[in-house]
Structure 1
């Protein structure tokens, strides 16, 4: 299964953050209506892709130098929340094809960025696990292997990944991970997504490299994407002059996870409200749910917890930008402890969302809303999958690592 990417020309007048948010809100009825077919296809439609492209939604984090909007992470978080409120799978697929402009623009040299961003048509899925093997081949590198869970890949023009050097023993190679960007011509998307519990429409197919080749400038050796040291700056900061491109990489992804969860929570709340307005209580006296004090309490409790989770996510995005600005200004650099703290807080937003939906909405929405294919049932499946995501699973070990860093005990235990 393949898709065809269309070239994107910069808009005559760049949209503002507020205009982009309004665009996504206006698209929400279409997103809700298309949820079933998005799951069936395993990614959103070409028509929605074109709507996103025309609105500039793929350009949010791309450098202005190459036709991007060069907006901040706060705006991106807001957009993810609003899109997931319409369709969680669509938001996941779009976000993970859009967000990795941040890493490419930060860590790769100008020679690479000129080629990668130069056409103005850029979307890029990414996976941190080094599932591919890389071998030097003339003035470039050969790539072999299958990479799983490439969320956002159906409409991606590129893939950002990590690979193990093939000439080193595996244990040694793990200490010398290389970061690479591969254009779509060098990999094949497999038709292997859509049978998970949730996020069935998130476009998380695998890709396979069979003798793929990329030029040397598309590779950064000895750079692990989840543990980037930015204390000496980055190529992106020097090239673009924007602190946006001097941040660490893992915090933005965890913030995205939190933002998508918050949007999913509001999605569930919207459907719960619909049920309140259209159905009666299940036991006598059978009155409209909207007038029942218990339904009002359940709704209000969930709304409060979701608002708390949203505030956590937005604050994490703001702090990320503040740390980037501090680093760019020559202050204390954005550290691993800073990143772990942001990640801890963003994951707690996911926990808060799960509590709101599971404890107050799921238990009271009624069995008819949980039939296969119903909006609430689909959102619940999506949230279950988010709650079980690998990143969410780092919660306990990150608590320990944060303590080690904060107390000066680095090396005192496994990270």
Structure 2
């Protein structure tokens, strides 16, 4: 993988490798398991865990090296998220959706914007694609007003990346007129409105409010949808950093990040199922340890095999995204909307398969006493059910249709 040769702020550990970063996520899993209930009560992970993530380098994974980041790739990112979710699904969701959007900023915004928002590498940005903010053009840029919900990862975010509609744009023209912006924390306020959902209560998915938030022109990209950026002519990030990681499309990567959290959460549930097998007996005579019972072995094996299949699909899909970026950067066939939909459809199927595996093979046989309020498996069931009903999976059928239209050359209008 080529990287930027420009000098700038060096990352804290210039020789850190992707495998070392992934191993740090593995080593944090016991702490994450122990802190699950506390994170849920707080609605996001603790300042101590935040420092551990910062020290580990997770937030710098996608930040370009010239700005103090590690400039790693999507396959590394999904493996880190998987391992963190194997400790706590809510925490992985909160951390992943705050750290992952450095990839879009590093890809689509110009050098001046990147230099100012990344600084020396202290950057985290929650993001929501729905344009619920109204932007009014000013002498020096834009003024934003409105409230954005479900800003996962916002408690520790230094910025917010979102979509806005210019003032006065009719609803039927909204799709082609959206603004993509990155806003410093000084321009918005986080609301205390998260924690009453069925699951993901520790994901830090609070709302934020803009009240005359002011952004300079170069913090806003006009007529740009973050989930449909044409990269066929390259990107500012590719030109600036010389790294193919910054010339990809983004919707598939977002879906892959959710799929990674789901796979890690599935293994989290499998780990707890194994704990129950090793410590409890079967409910009916002959009362034998569950670990020795053929039915529990079969249920465990079925879930293990299906989760391993989902993990294999996840890692291959992440590699495919990286290959598409490489092909585009090298002047080959550009990363197309069809390519992006294909990556997203595969990742979405992973999410569905994990949920069905946990619900059908583990939840139905783990036992009612294991899912009392506050237990590990009860929390996992709630968290994974929320992941499964996320807006991304809700669009499963329409996006099947969209993939077919793109592949078959059918006019979507």
TM-score range, shorter chain: over 0.9
The alignment partner of 2:163 has SS state of strand
Structure 2, unaligned stretches of length 5 or more?
1-8
- CA shift at 1:9, angstroms? 8.6
Aligned position for 1:77: 78
Aligned position for 1:345: 346
Aligned position for 2:120: 119
The alignment partner of 2:230 has SS state of coil
Conservation of the 8 A alpha-carbon contact between 1:177 and 1:223: yes
* Distance across 2 between alignment mates of 1:395 and 1:366: 31
* Distance across 2 between alignment mates of 1:29 and 1:123: 24
Aligned position for 1:191: 192
Aligned position for 1:168: 169
Kindly tell me: are residues 163 and 353 of structure 1, through their superposed partners in 2, closer, same or farther at Cα, counting changes over 3 Å? Answer: same
Aligned position for 2:35: 34
Aligned position for 2:131: 130
- CA shift at 1:111, angstroms? 1.1
Aligned position for 1:404: 405
Q: Which moved more, 1:117-126 or 1:13-22?
A: 13-22
Deviations 1:206-248 (A, max 9, x none): 0000010011100000011111111111101100000100100
Aligned position for 1:47: 48
* Distance across 2 between alignment mates of 1:337 and 1:199: 31
The alignment partner of 1:130 has SS state of strand
Matched, 1:375 2:387: no
Aligned position for 1:305: 306
Aligned position for 1:330: 331
Deviations 1:306-328 (A, max 9, x none): 00000111111100000001111
Deviations 1:122-180 (A, max 9, x none): 00110000010111111111000000000000000000000000143343344200100
Aligned position for 1:358: 359
Aligned length: 405
Matched, 1:391 2:376: no
- Report the TM-score when normalising by structure 1: 0.96
Conservation of the 8 A alpha-carbon contact between 2:93 and 2:152: yes
* Distance across 2 between alignment mates of 1:235 and 1:56: 25
Aligned position for 1:316: 317
The alignment partner of 2:130 has SS state of coil
Conservation of the 8 A alpha-carbon contact between 2:94 and 2:153: yes
* Distance across 1 between alignment mates of 2:93 and 2:231: 27
- CA shift at 1:21, angstroms? 1.3
* Distance across 1 between alignment mates of 2:96 and 2:272: 23
The alignment partner of 1:128 has SS state of strand
Matched, 1:225 2:226: yes
Deviations 1:80-128 (A, max 9, x none): 1000000000000000000000000000011111101123210011000
- CA shift at 1:13, angstroms? 4.0
* Distance across 2 between alignment mates of 1:196 and 1:127: 18
Structure 1, unaligned stretches of length 5 or more?
1-7
Matched, 1:254 2:255: yes
* Distance across 1 between alignment mates of 2:364 and 2:378: 12
Paired residues for 1:1-40 under 5 Å: 10-40=11-41
Aligned position for 1:5: none
Aligned position for 1:91: 92
Conservation of the 8 A alpha-carbon contact between 1:164 and 1:174: no
Q: Which moved more, 1:188-197 or 1:347-356?
A: 347-356
* Distance across 2 between alignment mates of 1:168 and 1:348: 36
* Distance across 2 between alignment mates of 1:12 and 1:344: 36
* Distance across 2 between alignment mates of 1:299 and 1:12: 40
Conservation of the 8 A alpha-carbon contact between 1:166 and 1:173: no
* Distance across 2 between alignment mates of 1:321 and 1:361: 33
Conservation of the 8 A alpha-carbon contact between 1:164 and 1:170: no
Aligned position for 2:5: none
* Distance across 1 between alignment mates of 2:301 and 2:334: 41
Aligned alpha-carbon RMSD (Å)? 1.2
Conservation of the 8 A alpha-carbon contact between 1:9 and 1:120: no
* Distance across 1 between alignment mates of 2:100 and 2:13: 23
The alignment partner of 1:65 has SS state of coil
Kindly tell me: are residues 75 and 386 of structure 1, through their superposed partners in 2, closer, same or farther at Cα, counting changes over 3 Å? Answer: same
Q: Which moved more, 1:55-64 or 1:17-26?
A: 17-26
Matched, 1:143 2:129: no
- CA shift at 1:26, angstroms? 1.1
- CA shift at 1:260, angstroms? 0.5
The alignment partner of 2:164 has SS state of strand
Aligned position for 2:6: none
* Distance across 2 between alignment mates of 1:254 and 1:12: 29
The alignment partner of 1:363 has SS state of helix
- Report the TM-score when normalising by structure 2: 0.96
